[in-house]
Amino acid sequence: LCTGGSVTDLVQGLRSRGARLSNNQIAYILRETVQALVFLHENHCMHRDIKGHNILLTETGHVKLVDFGVSSHLAATMARRNTSVGTPYWMAPEVIACEQQLDQSYDSRCDVWSVGITAIELAEGDPPLCELHPMRALFQIPRNPPPKLSHPEQYSSMLSDFISECLVKDLEQRPFSKELVTHPFLKSVGPYVDQIRQDLRSEIARQREDGRAPSQAIATTKYGKLKSDRKSKPQKMYMDDLAALDVLTEDAIVEQLQKRYETNQIYTYIGDILIAVNPFSQVGLYTTQHQRKYTGQARSDNPPHIFAIADAAHQALVHQRQNQAIVISGESGSGKTESANLLLKQLVYLGKAVTKNLEERILQVNPIMEAFGNARTGINANSSRFGKYLELTMARSGKVNGARIFVYLLEQSRVVKQADGEGNFHVFYYMYDGLQAEGRLEEYYLHPSYRKTHRYLQETATLPKTNVDRWKQLLASFRVLGFKDDEVDMVNRVLAAILNLGDIEFGEMDSNDNTDTAWR
């Protein structure tokens, strides 16, 4: 009977009162665990789930390795397996790789990696990446450098060395369990075993008297499915990067995107491509906190996000000194306009300009471009009817020092004719309703009664009040960009002239009529 509980419970109990295991206690627990592994491996058995929860203590302070639910019997000492099973945070990179790469395999040294993670758990109370969802941890373990102690100065240097011995990502370079037995950290504890067991017995008794908090459920994975705890039903895992799929078909992609969308994961990678599924609602993914979260990070550090694309481009520009290009493409209503705005927002945030005014001027370009280039269509109330190429220029330090916009493919025919239920470019409605609210329509030869009769101003669902607000925002953007009042007035006159030209009607002139009444 192991009534002393698991070493995870022991560590958590110590941490709850600001204490921790001593170097000798950690060395003792690891020594006993490694000796158990040597016995298993010599008898051709891989445990495949080494962690603090499966290392139990007896009343006398002895250590037992338990729970062989996912262990595997091998035909020989060097035999291999290719089933991805275990508890995510403790799983070795080669075991995780078997989930997506059918030609991958591993041997008993996967348990050695788990011992290294358990060593960190014993010292710090939690395994590395424990703050992440288990699925995210599975993505990061193969990509990240081997974990280390967060505060190595608090522990013996031999413990750090032991951990680095265990956490060698290259399986072929990682030692076998029988080689770990001779590590100085484990050997040094020999003379103190009796005292350590006495200390552990005292701590067990103390925690039993104080009462232990129930252990948190631990997620496990097997055959490509994730169980949040032992009693839950296994759920298929859906990944951040679909390029890792064995079979990349349309059905597989759609299934992955749908399942991620149902959990509010609207972004998904396919290699260097970011797919965005428009939620048509606010999902709270673009706050200042998110901007900081996606600054100077590896792509695997966080869930897929358009800010991660901006950060990757900025890092490559600064560190590799190579120009970067980001192409945004998609169907009408897919969110291209909003994505472009968010991308620009993050790039300007990353490359903070020397002057705040420059940042504001760059960001205020988008409202102007949308006013003059976006319109209502049958399926999208704010459809971009143009293509644009925005060029940000940055100094070697990564600071934004300028921007240029090239506009092309403007749907000019929309000015003179729109399909039923569609509208002209937004700016015409903004200007008309804005001038009407200011009582200035007559300055531009426009009359309130013409609101429904101007040929180029078909009615749209946009309310006049909304147009007035956006007109004020447009004027504010003009001011930020340095437009003078007379220049804004000239823009208004050109727009008003276009509306008036649209009302001209032409007819055939009677040859005997010398008047100008044949046209108006």
Same domain, 139 and 254: no
Query: CA 441, CA 436: separation in Å to the nearest integer?
Result: 6
Query: Does 388 appear as a known binding residue?
Result: no
Could you give the residue numbers annotated as active site?
49
pLDDT reported for residue 179: 94
DSSP β-bridge partners for residue 384: 374
Same domain, 310 and 437: no
Same domain, 264 and 167: no
CATH number of the domain that residue 363 is part of: 3.40.850.10
Q: List, for residues 379-400, the tens digit of each pLDDT value.
A: 888 888 888 888 889 988 888 8
| Structural domain contains residue 303 | yes
Same domain, 65 and 188: yes
Helix ranges (H only) for 188-239 are: 193-210
Same domain, 375 and 468: no
Which token pair is 157?
A: 């240097």
Degrees, nearest 5: CA angle 209-215-216: 155
Same domain, 190 and 58: yes
Query: Does 333 appear as a known binding residue?
Result: yes
Q: List, for residues 97-141, the tens digit of each pLDDT value.
A: 876 555 677 888 999 999 999 999 999 999 998 887 777 777 778
What residues contact 197, with CB distance under 8 A and at least 6 apart? 28, 60, 61, 62
Strand stretches in 386-459, DSSP E? 387-394, 400-408
pLDDT reported for residue 59: 83
pLDDT reported for residue 513: 60
What is the domain range of residue 246? 238-269+277-283
Same domain, 124 and 222: yes
Query: Does 335 appear as a known binding residue?
Result: yes
Same domain, 21 and 169: yes
pLDDT reported for residue 158: 95
* Domain boundary residue, one of 407, 439, 465: 407
Same domain, 360 and 454: no
The pTM of the full predicted model, rounded to 2 decimals, is: 0.57
Q: Which residues, given as ranges, of the chain have pLDDT below 50?
A: 519-520
Query: Does 108 appear as a known binding residue?
Result: no
Query: Does 334 appear as a known binding residue?
Result: yes
Same domain, 254 and 384: no
Same domain, 75 and 202: yes
CATH number of the domain that residue 24 is part of: 1.10.510.10
Count the domains in the chain.
Answer: 4
pLDDT reported for residue 358: 83
| Structural domain contains residue 207 | yes
Task: Determine the 3-state secondary structure of 206 from DSSP.
Answer: helix
